[in-house]
Chain A
């Protein structure tokens, strides 16, 4: 599949599982989107790609309230978390996020909104194509916590009615940003 096909397939699959998918060419635009949607305190865990972009700076300039540490204390009050992504899987609309650092895990599991920035060049076709990268990530950090995230948290445990947002984020916003990072090992 060409990269355009992968992007198209990823977008369709991610929307199918209830994610919001937005395209941006500038970090400023992405920051504006997050600022509009966050609804309060934003958890920003360490992320090489987002730091290069100075996303935190851009958000602060817009008057956003950010937290970058003590997540265990502040997370229960934070409606939003922001992260990068190592890469994505097209056929299931999945974000792959190495979340070994606890801050990344807390920022992406506790808040109601998860904003994830992804470079559209980092998309593989399917679950099997993802495995060589999973292996490399696990080899690089033998003690690791790796998350596949496909859409928001969901349940159908009451009368089999699909209901969004039970324990994890109720909203997943995928922000595709050109030129963010082409390195599958960083997020």
Chain B
């Protein structure tokens, strides 16, 4: 690992966290965005639309050479001059050279992320050409000497007072910090630029192979002017913008503004095909098609789905990490989840190495992506690539490679730790303060202790109170349930026994491998997958149940992926995946049972926190709510129930505790605001985080796993 780079990165995080105003703005935007987006998609089947876009974009990827040739032919037929640029340098050289040849002094630019990607303005400046950004947000950051912090709203990190100051320097007057006035100033100041500029540069949202034309999706009207007034028009287009037909273009346009900003459609969609009239003659239209790593991305089996991206920026809008630190930390040129991936391919792995670890893994981006990209899956892959290139750090490496893979050693060390913690736990179930070096761990949350006896020791001693079981299920405890909250596992046995299900605990089961995988150690994750598939299927259970949705994702998704090329294990991994589910889903969907309220007279209020991997990994969210309501709990929904709690495993302990802390604070605020007495969830990880944070804040809200709340109802019968 590169120490200086990591240090600089951590410093950027601290600087961002010191700006609560930025966080507040991004949070407000995130909330408002979801409301307008839901309105824009009302009555439409988002899942169907995004599958359609994903499939269309895959077709483009598979036929990219033919479609590119078709686009170039058609564009040339209509008088465009087409240049295919392999690299950023190539594109910059072409455009700068053209500007020089034509004696261009000023360029009117409309917003183009591709031009940011290649640092086109710098390349033009080097040959004495002044590029003026005309998009309001781009102009603001150009004046400020910054880079965009969002793909769609480049100046989202700036406030009107800062804008007023920047504009004041341009006009020489003191400009009031009123937004309508500032917009007016921009209109007046930039108007002459379109007339003066000898060249207009735009990007393109879509390139249509069928026609050789482009489409620009914009709101301000500057792209129309930049494409109309100057004699020369250069359109810089990433080759991933290709679509086969006009109908395909319409499908992208149907989704893009809705998912980007919650608009039904932008103010303008401009379709330009060929060299159109300009002044007394015709426009000189150059289309520069930019590869710059896109073909390499197309060849990467693990990452190529990222080429489906239509650049809506939604993955940032909903990202709790982005909302906490903004795009200048969580991004390079492209920001947010897609930014991590594009950075790796367009700017190099080194530029992506820090931000690839910044993802907390909540999959909010995956759920909102209009192109159906498993962004988190690709980020995890890149993390393991970087882990292999740079190492994952000596401490983690020893833990994963030497300890976790050896189950007996791992478990005996955990048992030893349960004894070693006694001086700080003082025999209690939570640790409120840790000494010296570790004190930051308990600054804003208490930590649970490791239980005196793990579930694997306790469970075999519990008699199975079920005569003729409907099913016999293997219980995958996962580390949290096994070593931290063993009582939760006993509750599961009691509830399932009551519903006629026998439960056993395969002793050879080991960690699900997610901590290793999320830290970039895929090798250990694969080794653990083999161990667990073997252990869990050994006695041929009817089902495998868990209390941890992250483990469920490992068993259902990752094991299959890890072992798919291994003939000995592939089919078994698939068999395990089919049998595995979270306990709430098992009770509700397989057993089709409920735990009745019993004699409960008073109705306890419960608010439900959706664990990321349960809601967006397993698609389970109605089931636990239904079980709790059937059991007589009164459900009081909190705001943003499905937003991450900030845990993210080692994310909150070692890699990004300061970001975790902020995300957890948001969640605790939402829980408190719900007014419920209990916050229920289906994940031991979330429980560690929320129980600890609620306790440290001294809030009288109890945090509990759904299975614990259901088990309590049995006591009342």
With beta carbons under 8 angstroms apart, the residue of A91, A134, A158 that contacts B155 is A158
Query: Can you show 9 pairs from A to B with CB atoms below 8 A apart?
Result: A94-B269, A127-B265, A131-B246, A144-B274, A145-B228, A145-B276, A148-B269, A151-B267, A157-B153
**A158 touching B179 by the CB < 8 A rule?**
yes
Chain B residues near A146: list those with CB within 8 A. 270-273
**B224 touching A155 by the CB < 8 A rule?**
no
**B183 touching A168 by the CB < 8 A rule?**
no
**B269 touching A160 by the CB < 8 A rule?**
no
Question: For window 29-62 of chain A, which residues contact chain B by CB distance below 8 Å?
Answer: none
- With contacts A100-B276, A165-B187 known, is A156 near B180, CB below 8 A? no
CA–CA, A13 and B268, complex, Å: 15
- With contacts A105-B228, A127-B250, A143-B275 known, is A158 near B220, CB below 8 A? no
Chain B residues near A101: list those with CB within 8 A. 277
CA–CA, A119 and B397, complex, Å: 71
Is B79 among interface residues, defined by CB-CB distance under 8 A?
yes
CA–CA, A171 and B266, complex, Å: 15
A contacts, CB < 8 Å to B: 13, 16-17, 72, 76, 91-94, 100-102, 105-106, 109-110, 126-128, 130-131, 134-135, 138, 142-161, 163, 165-169
With beta carbons under 8 angstroms apart, the residue of B78, B229, B266, B267 that contacts A142 is B78
CA–CA, A151 and B268, complex, Å: 9
- With contacts A154-B267, A157-B137 known, is A100 near B224, CB below 8 A? no
Chain B residues near A152: list those with CB within 8 A. 267
Is B213 among interface residues, defined by CB-CB distance under 8 A?
yes
With beta carbons under 8 angstroms apart, the residue of B79, B136, B267 that contacts A143 is B79
CA–CA, A37 and B205, complex, Å: 35
From B156-164, B369-377, B419-427, the one touching the partner chain is B156-164
CA–CA, A132 and B133, complex, Å: 35
CA–CA, A135 and B156, complex, Å: 37
Minimum C-beta distance from A7 to chain B (A): 18
- With contacts A100-B277, A127-B253, A150-B267 known, is A157 near B187, CB below 8 A? no
CA–CA, A110 and B29, complex, Å: 31
CA–CA, A128 and B455, complex, Å: 58
B43 and chain A: residue at smallest CB distance: A91
**B267 touching A149 by the CB < 8 A rule?**
yes
A172 and chain B: residue at smallest CB distance: B267
CA–CA, A165 and B188, complex, Å: 11
Chain A residues near B137: list those with CB within 8 A. 155, 157-158
With beta carbons under 8 angstroms apart, the residue of B28, B154, B195, B268 that contacts A168 is B268
Chain A residues near B246: list those with CB within 8 A. 131, 134-135, 138
Minimum C-beta distance from B136 to chain A (A): 4
Question: For window 321-372 of chain B, which residues contact chain A by CB distance below 8 Å?
Answer: none
With beta carbons under 8 angstroms apart, the residue of A94, A159, A167 that contacts B265 is A94
Minimum C-beta distance from A137 to chain B (A): 9
**B224 touching A106 by the CB < 8 A rule?**
no
With beta carbons under 8 angstroms apart, the residue of B28, B220, B254 that contacts A127 is B254
Minimum C-beta distance from B710 to chain A (A): 43
Is B191 among interface residues, defined by CB-CB distance under 8 A?
yes
0/1 string, B584-605, CB within 8 A of A gives 1: 0000000000000000000000
- With contacts A102-B277, A130-B250, A163-B180 known, is A138 near B211, CB below 8 A? yes
